[in-house]
Each structure stands twice: as C-alpha cells, then as structure tokens.
Structure 1
C-alpha cells in the first residue's frame, strides 16, 4: 500500500467510526451537528434521521470505500484506487464548500461563527485525505 492509500484508509475508518457512533448514539450526533429532533409533540422522533444519515450513510459509505481501497490497492492499473475514493472525497470537500457559503451568505442566521470555521477546514482536509491516492497519482 502506498502512503496515499494508507492516509485515505485511516481517514475512511475514522469516517466509519463517526457513522457507527451516530448509529448507536443519535443524541451524540445531534449535539455534534447542532440539530435537534422536532419539538412538536404531534411529530415525535427525528432520531431516525441521525441514525440513517449521520449513522448508516457515514458508516457504510466510508466502510465500502475502505474495502474497495484495500482490495484494489496495489493493483494495476493504479488509477482504480485513485478513482474509487473520489466520490466520497468530493462529498467531504463539497460539505466544506457549502459550509463556507453559509459562513459568507448566512451571517445573520448563523448569529456567531461558532465552530463553522473549524468544520470548514476539517471537512476540506478530510476530503483531501480521502483523496490522497488520487492526489499522489498526480504527483
């Protein structure tokens, strides 16, 4: 395995752990993303969204990408491992770009920046780390 693949694999496993944590602790996921379940007593719930989106989606997308990366790692052509990580990496970078847009365009609605600047940097770095095999193939 190349250094790019190792960086990507570690990052993917961290993403999978985040998803697993959200599946089993939707309250934790709620605090991390600063969203709450619907307070309307006629519409109980909301934890299914945390378990599904921040749990299952994160867990299985990161885990499947990690499995593909390991199984295709070191194979010829090398471009396969580079391409397999791109959709998920682009998703993370896209999340950072969306958050940056919110930081710029939603100043009044966001009240204070809080953790937004930190999350912007985290999401872009996380996406680039997942894309490490692709970036390494360009060098």
Structure 2
C-alpha cells in the first residue's frame, strides 16, 4: 500500500471499536489487503440500496450517514467504521454515506472481512450483536409516528 506508513494504518485500525482486541498480525493483514481512497467533501461514498462489497474505516476526515429521508443518522470521524453490518447480513446498504470534508477511507474488501470473521469468532459474535442492535433501533425509529 502506498501513501501512509503501515504503522500509522495499523494505529488507525486499533482505534476502531469494532476491531478492538485484534492482534497486530490480523491488523497487518487487513492493511495489506486494503486500499486507502480519498473522497472530496460532499462526494458520495455509496448510495442507499447499493451492493455491499467492503468495510470502510475512516482514517482522516468525516462522513455523514443519511437515512431514507436524507436526514443525518450519524456523523463518523476518524476511528470509526461503517459497512460491516451490510457485509455480515449480506444485504444492500441501508443508508447513503457522504464525505463531510476531504476524507481518507481504508477500504477493506469483503474477502478480507470474511476471513477475519472466520478466524476470530469473538469478533464475529460482537459484530453480529451490534448489527442486531442497530437493526432493532432502526425498526423502532421507523415504527415511531411522524
């Protein structure tokens, strides 16, 4: 991977709560299989309903997660990830994601993500629980009267 030194990318991954507890070997494998890509402010990372093929880690900058009505559901800054729940569930993206400012994302391909989950049962369990919690929260928000 060109650009940032590997150790700074490993450090960026260590800051991601959903990847907490992974050893350095696993983090190096993620870095080695990933690409760091840049999105200018205002650009769309992916649209709601688009195919799921990667996990995204915010290295620098920030992204806005937009709900079906185009309202902000979350603002994610460096040290956060997104896309993992669609990967786990095998579903299209449920939200649109846009760069708030010039943003660098580490894009982890599905194959690396799947291998990571297969080799770390605790991580897989933790991510599935988080996905279920988020789905329940989304369903309860959707069920609220307008």
Bigger relative CO (Cα 8 Å, ≥ 6 apart) = 1
Q: TM-score, normalised by structure 1?
A: 0.34
Structure number with bigger Rg: 1
More strand by share: 2
Decide which structure has greater helix share. 1
